[in-house]
Amino acid sequence: MDLFKKCYEFDKVEVLKQQNLYPYFHAATTGQDTEMVMEGHKIVMIGSNNYLGLTSDPRVIEAGVEATKKYGSGNSGSRFLNGTLDIHIKLEEELAEFLHKEACITMSTGFQANLGIISAIAGRNDIILCDKENHASIYDGIRLSYAKMIRYEHNDMEDLEAKLKEIPEDKGILIITDSVFSMTGEICNLPKLVELKNKYGARLMLDEAHGIGVLGANGRGAGEHFGLEDDVDIIMGTFSKSFASLGGFMAAKKEVIEYVKHTSRPFIFSASITPASVACARRSLEIIKNEPQRVQRLRDISAYMRKQLKEKGVNIIEAETPIIPIFVYEDEKAFMACKMLLERGVYVNPVITPATPPGQALLRTSYMATHTEEQMDFAAQQIAEVLKELGC
């Protein structure tokens, strides 16, 4: 059988394109901001993870430009060999201090960070407890580790405990969860996770990709939000969201970081983060530390949008984060809503099966600290009108 047979038979994309409903790979001709130009449409962007609005901040842009001038466009090697710059080390030290951890390691992407952390920390004799709605990178990291994966029902602490009770004492145990679930905006039950971790001798890893810059008075994530920073063993994060850059990181005890540095294949065999990306992440971190009001503004604008949507009768998932999913139920209606909204000047993301259960398709919307109330009023009105037209 021809290896490419499955490729030739894959027609889902072409069908959607013929129906003029294909919702992916829209090309923007301006940078990430609250308002953009995308395929000729001037849009209000409510589908980005640029939570603190720093991708267009002149200070962040300048830092990237200056780093490129000083260090060049790339590092041409792994951190393990020739690819470590002094600014990599400074970023790691600054992040460790910010997150109240002993040490930190940075990796080339957020996805790679989960691959690199999990595959190094866990092995064949270990058990990983994984929330069913964790990010795909966590699942792939677990597969790469060869540890046994046990999935527990989403945010269901009774189910998690039932599964913990069955694990033999001679097994290493790691519980992994998103702190903020990327599709629904829900927050993990960290107090109960810590309780169970301590009760059953497990370690706890939090994927804070959507939590840092969002939760806690200073934006340090779920640990700060719940007052449990010291109880989280491993913090994973990304630079592609609140840090307005590209890359990922891990923060933990120094012995754990040293172990991962010298055993993680995804880390050792990948080129290091480019100078511009490092500099942009450092400047974003500096701004987050010096301007915690951005985190509060993000909460305020998200609450304002929730209020506007609910007043217009839009069916949303309740949460405390800047991720507001809107039910449209049917996959085809999600594609149609995205198309109609783009034409009206609003960008949102479709979330369909298998990312959601059948009949539970969503429009994923997300917000920035730099959005204005006027932009929210406009977007909410367009969403309400489109959903009414589609019968949602």
Comparing 7-16, 55-64, 261-270, which segment has the lowest mean pLDDT?
Answer: 7-16
The answer to whether residues 362 and 325 touch, using CB atoms and an 8 Å cutoff, is yes
241 is catalytic: yes
Q: Is the peptide bond before 354 cis (omega within 30 degrees of 0)?
A: yes
Task: Give residue-wise pLDDT tens across range 134-182.
Answer: 999 999 999 999 999 999 999 999 999 999 999 998 999 999 999 999 9
182 is catalytic: yes
- Residue (of 325, 342, 347, 343) closest to 392 by Cα position: 325
Identify the pLDDT of residue 209. 97
Identify the pLDDT of residue 318. 84
* Domains of the chain as residue ranges with CATH: 10-54+292-390 (3.90.1150.10), 58-290 (3.40.640.10)
Task: Give residue-wise pLDDT tens across range 303-322.
Answer: 999 999 999 999 998 888 99
Identify the pLDDT of residue 225. 97
Identify the pLDDT of residue 388. 94
User: Can you give the length of the chain in residues?
Assistant: 392
Q: How far apart are CA 66 and CA 70, in angstroms?
A: 6
Q: Is the pLDDT of residue 60 over 90?
A: yes
Catalytic site residue from 88, 135, 163, 241: 241
Phi, then psi, of 271 in degrees rounded to 5: -65, 150
132 is catalytic: no
Residues 6+ away with beta carbon under 8 Å from 371: 34, 46, 53, 301, 305
Q: What is the mean pLDDT of residues 198-207?
A: 98
Residues 6+ away with beta carbon under 8 Å from 238: 109, 110, 113, 209, 247, 248, 249
Catalytic site residue from 210, 225, 333, 371: 210
Q: How far apart are CA 138 and CA 276, in angstroms?
A: 27
Task: Give residue-wise pLDDT tens across range 229-277.
Answer: 999 999 999 999 999 999 999 999 999 999 999 999 999 999 999 999 9
Question: Could you give the residue ranges of the DSSP H alpha helices within 123-233?
Answer: 136-145, 157-165, 190-200, 222-226
Identify the pLDDT of residue 29. 95
| Residue 263: CA count within 13 A, CB half-sphere | 14
Catalytic site residue from 182, 242, 245, 270: 182
Task: Give residue-wise pLDDT tens across range 325-345.
Answer: 999 999 999 999 999 999 999
Mean pLDDT rounded to a whole number for the chain = 96
